[in-house]
Amino acid sequence: MTTRVILDSVDLSVTRGELVAIMGPSGAGKSTLLNIISGITTPDSGHVFVAQTYLRGTTATERAALRRSSFGTVHQRGNLIEALTMEENVALPLELNGERPRRACQQARLLLTDQGLGDVCELFPHQVSGGQRQLAAVLAALSSHRDIILADEPTGALDSAAGDEVMRLIRAHIDAGATGLFVTHDARDAAWADRVIYLKDGTITSDTGTSMSTATLLGGETR
Ligand SMILES: Nc1ncnc2c1ncn2[C@@H]1O[C@H](COP(=O)(O)OP(=O)(O)O)[C@@H](O)[C@H]1O
Ligand SMILES: [Mg+2]
């Protein structure tokens, strides 16, 4: 078996109220970085301190519990459960938070209706458009007010207007006191972030939080 280094010497600290955009070419390690932060992937070396916890000392069950209590995540393709209706999908994190199912569904319906998705509440994910799925996945991630939001290309399936709306929702959640990281290929999305990190071949080649200017980053400077 051959060994490949996917991420190397990544040093990153993100504080409450901060929204960080992660950019970089395909295969750079962006999704892997998010998976390490949420404890889905365990790095071979180094430390991850997140939600007041050093992940190295935890069991897989503890990490799953931490994800449930502290993380809202959006996967690249909109992580909805196919067997649940759109409304039930958005309600699920609320129920995991201890909300009663009936109330959770009412809240989910309001959130969906606010976003113009009132008509699809009772449909299943395969019956709606990719954009509607992705928007619902973002609403599900944000609905239960988790402390940490991780979003992997949350605007990928959306046109500019819908993408802006998703970024506005994420930004509002962070401004309310959460911490967020999202992956994007779009400079328009990155403009919503406080800070842009550029990953290439598994290392951070620039970080507007430390030195380089956003303009340099968005121009694709990788050195
Ligand atoms: N589970 C895995 N096993 C082995 N290699 C993987 C795995 N996941 C990702 N990789 C590899 O790690 C590298 C970074 O992948 P990824 O983090 O998905 O990149 P990005 O999200 O920036 O496109 C890629 O070369 C990919 O093939
Ligand atoms: Mg990826």
What confidence tens digit (pLDDT) does each residue in 74-116 have?
987 778 999 999 999 999 999 988 999 999 999 999 999 999 9
pLDDT of 192 reads 97
32 Cβ inside 6 Å of ligand 1:
yes
pLDDT of 8 reads 87
The pick from 2, 32, 74, 183 for probing ligand 1's pocket by mutation, whose C-beta has the most ligand atoms within 8 angstroms, reads: 32
Can you tell me which atom of ligand 1 is nearest the CA of 199? 22
b/e per residue 121-142 (b: at least 16 CB within 10 A): beebbeebeebbbbbbbbbbbb
pLDDT of 210 reads 56
Residue 49 lies in a domain: yes
For the purposes of burial, counting CB atoms within 10 Å of the CB of 3, is it exposed (0-12), middle (13-18) or buried (19 or more)?
Answer: exposed
Tell the residue nearest (CA) to atom 16 of ligand 1. 29
- Boundaries of domain holding 156: 5-80+146-222
Can you tell me which atom of ligand 1 is nearest the CA of 30? 22
40 Cβ inside 6 Å of ligand 1:
no
Tell the residue nearest (CA) to atom 8 of ligand 1. 32
28 Cβ inside 6 Å of ligand 1:
yes
Cα-to-centroid distance, 98 and ligand 2 (Å) = 32
pLDDT of 1 reads 67
pLDDT of 209 reads 79
**In degrees rounded to 5, what are phi and psi of residue 204?**
-80, 115
Below-50 pLDDT ranges, the chain: 211-223
Cα-to-centroid distance, 10 and ligand 1 (Å) = 15
Three-state secondary-structure class, residue 223: coil
pLDDT of 4 reads 84
Residue 165 lies in a domain: yes
Residue 20: its H or E element: strand 19-23
Residue 184 lies in a domain: yes
pLDDT of 218 reads 39
Q: What is the CATH number of the domain that holds 67?
A: 3.40.50.300
211 Cβ inside 6 Å of ligand 1:
no
Residue 102 lies in a domain: no
For the purposes of burial, counting CB atoms within 10 Å of the CB of 175, is it exposed (0-12), middle (13-18) or buried (19 or more)?
Answer: exposed
Number of folded domains that form the chain: 1
Nearest ligand for residue 28 CA? 1
6 Cβ inside 6 Å of ligand 1:
yes
Residue 9 lies in a domain: yes
Residue 130 lies in a domain: no
Residue 10 lies in a domain: yes
DSSP character string of 117-145: -GGGTTS-GGGS-HHHHHHHHHHHHHHT-
Contact present, 73 and 141 (Cβ < 8 Å)? yes
Can you tell me which atom of ligand 1 is nearest the CA of 33? 17
